[in-house]
Amino acid sequence: MLQLNLPEYNFRIKKLDDKFLIFDSQRKRYVSLTPEEWVRQHFIRFLIEEKGYPAAYLAVEKQLNMNGMKKRCDAILYNEHALPILIIELKAPTVPITQATFDQVAVYNAKLKVDFFMISNGIEHYCCKVDTLNSQYKFFPELPEYSKLIY
């Protein structure tokens, strides 16, 4: 797998037939090890271990029903009242982060109405506060610690 702009972590990886699987500690099961999943596993561990995000408040691969269509967020962070506060969108390292990526998250946000977005391809990372009043994003200079995000 590609080297990411995130700390290196040890993961439980196994091979089944011709396919590699990685253990997802959030979902408590092995999942297919794709380039996007490699980013997801690193990014979620980074948020939990380095930035103090509570693992219990993170939901991975959360399904949303939007106008009869099923959409899936890579991850959602909830607060202590079980209300969503952050949408996390992750891409493979070879996928550039573009306006279309932010637009994809904005579609999810039409349903969730969160205050924050985080987007990463494992190389570039963005976190922004949603300014719905002015229809714009206020970007953080770096990925914030959990304590700074919620206060």
Q: What is the pLDDT of residues 51-73, one digit of tens each?
A: 999 999 999 988 888 778 888 89
Distance of CA 61 to the CA centre of its chain: 9
Kindly state the tokens that stand for 97: 């982060």
Whole-number pLDDT of residue 88: 96
Looking at the chain, the whole-number percentage of residues with pLDDT higher than 70 is: 99
Q: Which residues contact 146 (CB under 8 A, 6 or more apart)?
A: 47, 51, 52, 53, 54
Q: How far apart are CA 43 and CA 41, in angstroms?
A: 6
Whole-number pLDDT of residue 139: 93
Please check the confidence at residue 106 and state whether its pLDDT lies above 90. Answer: no
Domains in the chain with CATH codes: 50-150 (3.90.1570.30)
Q: How far apart are CA 30 and CA 54, in angstroms?
A: 21
Whole-number pLDDT of residue 59: 95
Q: How far apart are CA 101 and CA 89, in angstroms?
A: 8
Report the predicted TM-score, pTM, of the whole model to 2 decimal places. 0.92
Q: Which residue has the tokens 């993961």?
A: 11
Per-chain mean pLDDT for the chain: 92
Burial class (CB in 10 A: 0-12, 13-18, 19+), 139: exposed
Distance of CA 132 to the CA centre of its chain: 21
Looking at the chain, the whole-number percentage of residues with pLDDT higher than 90 is: 75
Task: Please give the average per-residue pLDDT across 29-35, as a whole number.
Answer: 96
Whole-number pLDDT of residue 6: 96
Whole-number pLDDT of residue 151: 65
